[in-house]
Amino acid sequence: MKRWWLIVLCSSLWLAGCTGAATPTPILHPQPALFTDRLGTAQDLIPTETEIAAAKTALGVKGFIGIVACNLSSEYHATVPRAAQALAHKLGLRIEVFDSETKADRQIAAIENFVSKGAPAIAICAIDPKVVEKAVKEAAGQGVYVLQYAGRDLAVNGIGISIEDADLGCAAGEIAADLIVKEKRGQALVVLLDYPSLPNVVERANQIEACLKQKAPGVKIVGRYLGGTPENGLTSLENALQAHPAIDVVVSINDAGAFGAIKALEAAGKDPQTTIVVGIDADAQAKDLIKQGKFFRGTVDTSPALTGEMVVNAVIKLLAGSTAPKNVRVPVAKITRDLLP
């Protein structure tokens, strides 16, 4: 009988030992203090050496930061994670990137996979916030910091890093207005290319119009037409030129729509030296066209490289338990021929 109890006792101790080894006591890190009384800046996110060291400790040897990119095919969306990886490597941190291929449903599995692999922080570029909202909240519920770039709504326990659409629109409107005042004595027939199904882009278009009229009150805006893609820009400008042949300025909510508009302007025989096209995004193609001085005269830099660096800095702040802004504004910059090398 004693031998039987000894076997049971030893077995119990062995199981207890195994259980203890499989579930070590979690390491608790200080919680960050996120303030919401103002929009933060990139400067607010720059970490100290102490914070970097604390973040490294929190990550451990095998820890990593997960980035769920919208895609890796467009210049903006490829640049953000690439810049993040470059800074992380410099600081001795590791990043894993997932390419969503602009498919919202792929992002659910990406978030779940990063959580299962033990990522303490995930930054997401949400294609459709409603699709991934549940997965994001579940990740946050497990203690994973969720950050969002190119948006803020899903940064439930992390930091939202995004450009204000009003800033983008106003910058584009001011570029166009300055050119119109300088080259056309403040008079022009203007077409706006927008994308009415996306509320944030509507706000961008509203600010293009408001800031354009503020600096060049003599312009006449003949209408808003669907843009967003080269195909839409081409078709819309063809239609606009049929109704208003004297159009001499196009301002687009992005560069892609402007590329299509230029094709329509060329086909209509418009003078590339006196016809003004302004976009947003600072795509490489846009900057090349601006250098040529034909049609494309300005664009707005959306700062994707800086955004990637801000993502890394924000993660460091969170893992270090520091004080940081809940929402951060990404700065924009006007790009014209005078500002290009």
315 and 274 within one domain: no
- The reply to whether 214 falls in a domain is yes
Give the closest residue to 136 by CA, choosing from 150, 121, 96, 118: 121
- The reply to whether 21 falls in a domain is no
Distances (CA, A) of 90 to 50, 63, 68, 83, 93: 16, 16, 21, 11, 8
Check residue 31 and give its pLDDT: 82
The domain that contains 244 carries what CATH number? Answer: 3.40.50.2300
What pTM was computed for the model?
0.79
CB atoms within 10 A of CB 304: 24
112 and 194 within one domain: no
**Cα separation, 66 vs 98, whole angstroms:** 8
> Residue 281 forms beta bridges with which residues?
301
198 and 85 within one domain: no
**Cα separation, 301 vs 303, whole angstroms:** 5
**Cα separation, 206 vs 67, whole angstroms:** 32
Give the closest residue to 54 by CA, choosing from 90, 82, 27: 27
Check residue 198 and give its pLDDT: 82
- The reply to whether 250 falls in a domain is yes
- The reply to whether 338 falls in a domain is no
- The reply to whether 244 falls in a domain is yes
Q: What is the DSSP letter of 46?
A: P
Q: What is the DSSP letter of 151?
A: B
Q: Is 26 helix (H, G, I), strand (E, B) or coil?
A: coil
Q: Is 314 helix (H, G, I), strand (E, B) or coil?
A: helix
54 and 169 within one domain: no
- The reply to whether 341 falls in a domain is no
Distances (CA, A) of 40 to 17, 273, 327: 48, 41, 6
- The reply to whether 290 falls in a domain is yes
Check residue 199 and give its pLDDT: 83
Distances (CA, A) of 34 to 26, 50, 158: 23, 18, 8
What sign for the dihedral angle of Cα 291, 295, 298, 301? negative
Check residue 264 and give its pLDDT: 99
Per the CB < 8 A criterion, the answer to whether 222 and 189 are in contact is yes
Burial of 135 (0-12, 13-18, 19+ CB in 10 A): buried
Residue-level length of the chain: 341
Query: In degrees rounded to 5, what are phi and psi of residue 190?
Result: -115, 140
170 and 105 within one domain: no
Q: What is the residue range of 275's domain?
A: 165-301
Count of domains forming the chain: 2
**Cα separation, 149 vs 307, whole angstroms:** 8
- The reply to whether 25 falls in a domain is no
Per the CB < 8 A criterion, the answer to whether 96 and 119 are in contact is yes
Query: In degrees rounded to 5, what are phi and psi of residue 262?
Result: -60, -40
Give the closest residue to 173 by CA, choosing from 202, 203, 216: 216
Cα angle vertex 290, ends 288, 293, to 5°? 115
269 and 197 within one domain: yes
Ordered mean pLDDT values, 10 residues apiece, the chain (341 residues): 37 38 44 90 98 96 96 91 98 98 95 97 94 97 96 93 95 98 98 91 96 98 96 98 98 96 98 98 95 96 97 98 96 94 85
283 and 211 within one domain: yes
Check residue 29 and give its pLDDT: 55
312 and 292 within one domain: no
